[in-house]
Structure 1
Amino acid sequence: MANSKSCFIIMPVTVPEIVKDRYRDGSEHFRHVLDCLLIPSVEKAGFNAIPPLARGSDLIHAEIIKQLETTDLVLCDMSALNPNVFFEFGIRTSLNKPVCVVKDDLTKHIPFDTGIINFHEYLSALEPWDLAKEITVLSEHIKASYERSDGKNTLWKYFGLRAEAAAYEGEPGSDNKLDLINLQLGSMLRRLDDFEKKSLFDYGKKIMLDSNKGDEGLSYLQLFAKNNDIDVKIIEVSISEDKAQVELVGLISDNQEKMLKAYIELFYGVSNVVFHEVPF
C-alpha cells in the first residue's frame, strides 16, 4: 500500500571540493546517503519519499519550489553546509510548514542557533553494521518531527512570526519566462566556462577504495543485505576497472536492487554495478 503522506528531501547533490577528502566515497557520497539512508528512513516513517531534483548552481527551479510548498514534510540535510539547501530551508520556513532537520557527524557547526532546532545527527560512514539502526532511529526522528509540528513550522513559535509567505497563484508572463531562460542560459555558459578551465585530471579524479576485499567484502555485503531485509545470498563479486559483477541467489525488488547497488558502489568504489541472478 502506497504511503499517503509525502516527504520532499532537500540535501547536497554534490560534495564540495573543500570537504571531499572527508568522505571515503568522494563525489558520490551524498547519492549513497540518499539511497542507503534517507529514502529508506523516510519510507519506514510512513512517507512517500520525493528525492532532490537536479539543479544548476545558480538557479532554484520552479519544481523544487512547488515541492517545498505542497509536500506534507521536508527532510532537510544540512551536511556540508550547502547554500541551496539553506535557501530551500528558508523558503519552507517562510511558508510555515513542517521541516525535519538532519546533518552528518562530520558537519560540526551549523551557522545559526541549533539549540532551538531538534537536529538528528547520522553517521556519514554508512557502515553496513550501523545502517539498520541508523534507518530505524532516523525514521523515528522523522515521525516525531512531523507529529510535533501539528502541520506548522516549529521555528515560528520561537521567533514569534505572524505573516506567512504565499505562493504566487497567477501564470508567469512572457517577460518572466524570458528572464528565466536568460538566467538558465547564463548559468549554463558559466558552468561550461568553469569546465573548460579545469584540467582532465580534476574531473577524472575520484576516491577509490581497495577493491581487493575478498571474503571479508562478501561478508560485509551480506550483512548489509540482511540488515535491510534483502533476502538474497551474494555468491561472488568481481571487480574489473570501474565495474562490479555481482552473482546472487534470490529475487529482489527494484528498490532493494537500487539500495544494494548504491552500497556496492560505495564499498568497492565503482560506478557501474551489474547483477546476475543464479539458480537456487
Structure 2
Amino acid sequence: MAEDAVAFKEPKTLVCGLIMPISQIDNLPAAHWDEVREIIIKTVEGIGSPRFSARLVSEGDDAGVIHKRIIQNVYTDDIAICDVSGRNPNVMFELGMRLAFDKPTVIIKDDQTARIFDTDVIEYLTYRRDLRYASMEQFRTKLAQKTVATYELSLSDHDKQSFLKSFGTFKVVKLDESSETPDKAMLSMMAQMQRQISRLSNSLPSRRRPATSSPSELDDEIEQLINSPRFPEARLFVRQSKAENPDLNSDNCMEYPELVGQAVSRFPEIVTSPNALRRLVDVSL
C-alpha cells in the first residue's frame, strides 16, 4: 500500500575538495595533473559509504571571484585531499589554510617529492610519479580507505586527527558566516592567520639566516624578474594595488594579506618567497 510505504531519504553526498597542481610544474605538464585528478576523483566518488562528490576547491556553481570561492571551499568542504607533489606554492598556501581551519585533510604526494618538514606529523600517501597502473590501483585502495577513515575520525574523535593539536592548544581560525560578508570574512581570516604565523615565528629559536645576496646576484634576480613573461601583468597588479593602498611599498607589502594572497595565487612563478614579493613591488613602483 502506498500509505504504508516508508519514505526513503537519500543519504547526504559529502564534498571532497581537491587541492593540487593544475598547470606545469616540476617538469610535469598540465596533462599529467589532469590524469592525477581523474584518478583521485574516480577513487573518491567510487567509495560506497559515505558518498562523496569530488572537485577542485577552485570550482563552484557561482560566478564570483575565484579567490573567495577557493577560501570558502577550503573552509566548508567536508574533507580535502591535498597533493603536495612538486611543492606548488598555491597548493602549499591552500593547505596551510585548511590546516589552520583544523579540518580533516588527506595529504598525498608522488615518490619524487621529498617530505615536507612542517607537515611531517601527518601521514602521507605516496604514489608513483609515472602513474604505473598496478601501483596506482594499490594507491587507489589506500586512498579510499584513508579518506573514509579520516572523515569518520573527524566526527568521532577530532583531537586524534587534528594537525594543530599535535603542537599544543590553539584557537582555531574560523570564518564568521553569520555576521560578515564574504569579502570581510576572507580579509579577517587572512589577517588572523598572518598574526598567528607571526607570533609562531617570533616564538621559535633563532636560526642562522642566509647571507644577503651580493649586488651582482641581486641585479641578476631583478633582470630575471623583468624578463619574466608575466612581469607586465604582475607590475600592473602591483600598481593597481598601490592606487587602492597609497601607503603600499616594498617594506610593508607583507602587511597587506589580500595583496599577498592574490600575488601568490596569480603569479606563483614570480612570487616564490616574501623577498620575491618585496622585489616585485620595489621594481613595479
* Range into which the TM-score falls when normalised by the shorter chain: 0.5 to 0.7
How far does residue 65 in structure 1 lie from its aligned partner after superposition? 0.6
Distance (Å, rounded) in 2 between the aligned partners of 1:113 and 1:77: 13
Q: Which of 27, 34, 39 in structure 1 is aligned with 2:37?
A: 34
How far does residue 62 in structure 1 lie from its aligned partner after superposition? 0.4
Higher-helix-fraction structure? 2
Distance (Å, rounded) in 2 between the aligned partners of 1:8 and 1:89: 11
Gaps of 5+ in 1: 178-189, 196-280
Q: 2:16, 2:77 within 8 Å by CA — same for their partners in 1?
A: yes
How far does residue 60 in structure 1 lie from its aligned partner after superposition? 7.0
Distance (Å, rounded) in 2 between the aligned partners of 1:125 and 1:2: 37
**Could you tell me which residue of structure 1 aligns to residue 181 of structure 2?**
171
**Identity across the alignment (%):** 29
Distance (Å, rounded) in 1 between the aligned partners of 2:142 and 2:119: 23
Q: 1:100, 1:146 within 8 Å by CA — same for their partners in 2?
A: no
The answer to whether the aligner puts 1:144 opposite 2:154 as a matched pair is no
Deviations, residues 178-224 of structure 1 (Å, cap 9, x unaligned): xxxxxxxxxxxx837379xxxxxxxxxxxxxxxxxxxxxxxxxxxxx
**Could you tell me which residue of structure 2 aligns to residue 156 of structure 1?**
164
Alpha-carbon spacing, 1:29–1:52, altered in 2? closer, same or farther (3 Å): farther
The answer to whether the aligner puts 1:107 opposite 2:113 as a matched pair is yes
**Amino acid in the other structure paired with 2:24:** V
Q: 1:95, 1:166 within 8 Å by CA — same for their partners in 2?
A: yes
Q: Which of 57, 71, 78 in structure 2 is aligned with 1:72?
A: 78
Higher-strand-fraction structure? 1
Distance (Å, rounded) in 1 between the aligned partners of 2:168 and 2:162: 10
The answer to whether the aligner puts 1:10 opposite 2:13 as a matched pair is no
For normalisation by structure 1, the TM-score amounts to 0.53
Q: CA RMSD in A?
A: 3.2
Q: Which one has more relative contact order, counting CA pairs under 8 Å at least 6 apart? A: 1
Taking the TM superposition and a 5 Å limit, the aligned residue runs for 1:83-232 are 83-114=89-120, 116-150=121-155, 152=158, 154-169=162-177, 170-171=180-181, 191=230, 193=232
Deviations, residues 211-249 of structure 1 (Å, cap 9, x unaligned): xxxxxxxxxxxxxxxxxxxxxxxxxxxxxxxxxxxxxxx
How far does residue 74 in structure 1 lie from its aligned partner after superposition? 0.9
**Amino acid in the other structure paired with 1:15:** Q
Distance (Å, rounded) in 2 between the aligned partners of 1:166 and 1:78: 24
Gaps of 5+ in 2: 1-9, 60-64, 188-228, 235-285
Helix, strand or coil for the counterpart of 2:45? helix
Deviations, residues 46-81 of structure 1 (Å, cap 9, x unaligned): 311022427xxxx97000111011111011111101
Alpha-carbon spacing, 1:88–1:161, altered in 2? closer, same or farther (3 Å): farther
Q: 2:18, 2:55 within 8 Å by CA — same for their partners in 1?
A: yes
Alpha-carbon spacing, 1:2–1:53, altered in 2? closer, same or farther (3 Å): farther
Q: How many equivalent residue pairs?
A: 171
Deviations, residues 86-106 of structure 1 (Å, cap 9, x unaligned): 111111112121111111111
How far does residue 30 in structure 1 lie from its aligned partner after superposition? 0.9
Helix, strand or coil for the counterpart of 2:151? helix
